[in-house]
Structure 1
């Protein structure tokens, strides 16, 4: 199967078994291809071609026999991240034709050899989901905050982020944004986010971040070089500007680290919602590209917690919920928002590139 023949098919994320594994890889090929990532698509295609073979040693045997839901577990990106880490560390020159964008015809063979030579290094990459922290997504949150202020909510925001990874979006107060000509954030910031803006600009308002705390079941410490390299490995190599943003985020974290607690999302949210909220602040639950990794029963509990807290919200202490997550029917990411006490209906404000390259505003 050629990359241009890969087809994205909507499947149940909880599906298990060999067919689910194969479908997860084909979906990832199509998704990467359609989002301007031909190198990552070629890596995932090479891995897909290895599934019906005996190549790849213990790593690929574990992939073929994956016991969990391959799609929900983001199995293709786990092993792709490990391979990219080998390339970034200069440990596997055999992968150079792929990562240099040469599009070799023997990609599967090159990948199989790399996997077999680096089995001890790659095996742990299958143990946990990919970390896809990306500063570019903060532009979505900034646009949503402008919209919320325009709808009468206080402009001082208290952030609660689930699935924070390294906490890059928790540092969004330090970034400068140009959102369709609407500029907010410190002019002195090293990190300027200017997504390709489509549609009308967001409301020309202002906001401030007065508190920002997040959680993750496996937080990443950007001040640790090895952990920072792991996070870089999950960046698709085609998007060189993302590496520059990551370097700026690492610099910011070294100056003043974000606060990320090691907790399950539901436990973190329950604890944060129980704390008193200062009048004149807007408390916000935010997350990006994490919902799919949270177990269904935990997601249901989060919804219940937010609905209950929304029922207690008042004009002086409102609650909002802002997310950037994939729509499984359209295969595109959407910026959505809810807020209480006046309007808890979920609203789509924009369709967005998963890594912040563009925002199509409909708010």
Structure 2
């Protein structure tokens, strides 16, 4: 397995691409200080040498682009779910990061015994809803308000998963000393802030609405377990955040619909927009999972709506997505009228630990 996380073709297919995807995921996890997840992914990769189970054969013969499909994380999610539910106690030493054990043998045995439970985890992409990312959305809104856009926002999110970021108006943020949101809030976020603090403005979240092709109901314990399974075990704080989000969803569920991203954006942009309100499309770590034809439709719909935007009814697009050339995540904003060119506001940790403000 390669120790170095490197740029590879996201759309590559075939057996070689599967092995590359697993090697790259191991290196990425190690670089992201997630050694347990790296061990699990590396152990699954050893199954490719002699794919004796249906689970291993399906991975080895993956017909799509293994990296773009996040195939290693699908498999890792299934194993983590078995561990969290207590169904596979023999995984416990790996998740305890114990030394001098045979990870490959343990995982191979679990796969043989629990194949029926594991196979469905390969059917869909990871659900990695992370509330910490919402700090980037809030910072972008502050910047947009500083550009003269109305500080009242109608937020639309694609790839919402469980809708945790749709509840961002219930959270409190300390962004380099700039305080936003109710105090103490359902959750509180104080990312390590690098660079100047964002502009200080009073902003209002008028509404939030999101979509997902497979939305997660946080109030359903089985679905909540699925979400937790995709949280890397090294990130204990993220489990606490999910529990807080579950409580918030039980009190008032987020407005979340089952729809693909392009259909959702086109439908929402066709609706009337209130005067004095900025309509804002936002998404985080989701664009790579959106099919190319839908990416094109969303871009065309946003640019067409941007051409119709006015100072009293502006449009903005905020994206926190991976730049796989430089191996980092970037907060990029476009807005209409007048600001259609992308502006990179920040580099950021994918789970909200830090923000490097650039403007």
TM-score (norm 1): 0.97
Inter-partner Cα distance in structure 2 for 1:50 and 1:170: 39
What's the CA shift string for 1:55-93, capped at 9, x where partnerless?
5x1101100000111011100000100100011111111
**Out of 207, 210, 213, which is 1:211 matched to?**
207
- Contact persistence 1:97–1:104 (CA under 8 A): no
1:310 is aligned to 2:306: yes
Question: 1:283 aligns to what SS in structure 2?
Answer: strand
**Within 5 A, what are the aligned runs for 1:175-324?**
175-324=171-320
Question: 1:67 aligns to what SS in structure 2?
Answer: coil
CA deviation after TM superposition for structure 1 residue 105, in Å: 4.3
Alignment match, 1:66 = 62
Alignment match, 2:34 = 37
Question: 2:247 aligns to what SS in structure 1?
Answer: helix
- Contact persistence 2:51–2:60 (CA under 8 A): no
Question: 1:12 aligns to what SS in structure 2?
Answer: coil
Inter-partner Cα distance in structure 1 for 2:272 and 2:8: 42
CA deviation after TM superposition for structure 1 residue 206, in Å: 2.2
Inter-partner Cα distance in structure 2 for 1:230 and 1:206: 37
Inter-partner Cα distance in structure 1 for 2:28 and 2:139: 25
Alignment match, 2:340 = 344
CA deviation after TM superposition for structure 1 residue 38, in Å: 0.9
Alignment match, 1:126 = 122
Alignment match, 1:23 = 20
Question: 2:226 aligns to what SS in structure 1?
Answer: helix
Inter-partner Cα distance in structure 2 for 1:114 and 1:137: 34
Inter-partner Cα distance in structure 2 for 1:270 and 1:52: 45
CA deviation after TM superposition for structure 1 residue 50, in Å: 2.2
**Out of 135, 142, 151, which is 1:155 matched to?**
151
Q: Which range is displaced more, 40-49 or 138-147?
A: 40-49
Q: Which range is displaced more, 137-146 or 5-14?
A: 5-14
Inter-partner Cα distance in structure 1 for 2:332 and 2:98: 38
What's the CA shift string for 1:257-292, capped at 9, x where partnerless?
001111111111111000000010000010011101
CA deviation after TM superposition for structure 1 residue 190, in Å: 3.0
Inter-partner Cα distance in structure 1 for 2:149 and 2:37: 41
Inter-partner Cα distance in structure 2 for 1:32 and 1:180: 28
Q: Gaps (5+ residues) in structure 2?
A: none
What's the CA shift string for 1:303-353, capped at 9, x where partnerless?
111111110000000000001110010111111100010111111111111
Aligned-CA RMSD value: 1.0
Question: 2:193 aligns to what SS in structure 1?
Answer: strand
Q: Which range is displaced more, 41-50 or 321-330?
A: 41-50
Alignment match, 2:357 = 361
What's the CA shift string for 1:187-234, capped at 9, x where partnerless?
031310111111111112221110111111111000101000100000
CA deviation after TM superposition for structure 1 residue 53, in Å: 2.2
- Contact persistence 1:85–1:233 (CA under 8 A): yes
Cα distance change of structure 1 residues 104 and 272 upon mapping to structure 2, 3 Å threshold = farther
Alignment match, 1:11 = 8
1:51 is aligned to 2:84: no
CA deviation after TM superposition for structure 1 residue 7, in Å: 2.1
Cα distance change of structure 1 residues 69 and 159 upon mapping to structure 2, 3 Å threshold = same
- Contact persistence 2:209–2:254 (CA under 8 A): yes
Cα distance change of structure 1 residues 104 and 203 upon mapping to structure 2, 3 Å threshold = farther
Inter-partner Cα distance in structure 2 for 1:16 and 1:323: 27
CA deviation after TM superposition for structure 1 residue 103, in Å: 4.1
Question: 1:285 aligns to what SS in structure 2?
Answer: strand
Inter-partner Cα distance in structure 2 for 1:330 and 1:189: 35
